[in-house]
Structure 1
């Protein structure tokens, strides 16, 4: 029994150096991993710095394009000269390109058999009072401005009114508006008589 007590009393003597060695090994391993990660972190940091610089350069380029687009006078710019996609989305009401003559109410009345008000969009076959209001909401209030409007833009105006305007086909509306703006009343009336309410 004494022998067993002596052996147990000696165990802590050899256990302490073993534990200290194990702890040193674990700490050495962890410190080695942390030191190795420091190099990877600096590479990642450089990568993120390069990406950040690239994004800043893109942002500066966009800002300069925006300044250039907004600094150009609205009157001097036309939809044909706008080359960038951002400038094409800018809302600009172009000057009419139609050669207009002064409105002749008597000639319009002679052709249509009723009084015609100047720049009344309902003269265009297919446009009624509700659709006229939709065009007015888009700042298209004259025959000349409707004549310069694309069919796609006319469709966009109709779409803004909801489903009840989907049956209308604005394919001929700019052409009819041009005839009205140019005072070609007989030609406009003849065309409307020969076609299906401006829907063809």
Structure 2
């Protein structure tokens, strides 16, 4: 028996088996391929986005109307806007029931996406309460994050004011549901 012929077969047999497996794998994969239709989900998300955009536009309209009223009526109208707001008392029992843990008043870490370091950055920037965070624009939230350096670029504060408003208004069930439906504050 010639060893050079045997050496060729040691290479040729695994090579042929590999080629045949690749061909069969390709044919099996190609035969099972199906097209996934996500158009219904896409339409649902587009409708949801349109509703949220309409809500945002309505809020901006109210804000503009309030600013115009303050400009027309001067300090009297501005004082009327601020005195109509009453502080909402914090309901710790409802918070614990909905969130499943003890919640401290104005703890910014309750907001999905805010941890201890980011909470400290907001407190240092003068945003110490849920109400203050709820009244902070997303661009101002981003400025606070930008002040922390590159390590905070991955965070998206788009939902933080909305979540803080839910906290301030004791809408704990709604907040818990929203956080369950979103992955780390993202859709």
TM-score normalised over the length of structure 2: 0.55
Is 1:187 aligned to residue 181 of structure 2? no
Partner Cα separation in structure 2 for residue 134 and residue 181 of structure 1: 20
Q: What are the within-5 Å matches in structure 2 for residues 15-54 of structure 1?
A: none
Q: For residue 168 of structure 1, what is the aligned residue in structure 2?
A: 155
* Higher Rg: 1
* Counterpart selection for 2:117 from 108, 116, 130: 130
Gaps (5+ residues) in structure 1?
A: 1-78, 84-94
Q: For residue 18 of structure 1, what is the aligned residue in structure 2?
A: none
**Cα offset, 1:105, TM superposition:** 0.6
Q: CA RMSD in A?
A: 2.4
Q: What are the within-5 Å matches in structure 2 for residues 55-74 of structure 1?
A: none
Deviations 1:150-181 (A, max 9, x none): 00000000000001000000000000000000
User: Which ranges of 4 or more aligned residues in structure 1 deviate by more than 4 Å?
Assistant: 79-83, 95-100
Aligned in 2, Cα 1:108/1:117: closer, same or farther, shift over 3 Å?
same
**Cα offset, 1:199, TM superposition:** 3.2
Q: Is the 8 A contact 1:147 1:176 kept in 2?
A: yes
Deviations 1:19-56 (A, max 9, x none): xxxxxxxxxxxxxxxxxxxxxxxxxxxxxxxxxxxxxx
Aligned in 2, Cα 1:160/1:120: closer, same or farther, shift over 3 Å?
same
Is 1:155 aligned to residue 132 of structure 2? no
**Cα offset, 1:190, TM superposition:** 0.2
Gaps (5+ residues) in structure 2?
A: 1-65, 72-81
What count of residue pairs does the alignment treat as equivalent? 111
Aligned in 2, Cα 1:133/1:175: closer, same or farther, shift over 3 Å?
same
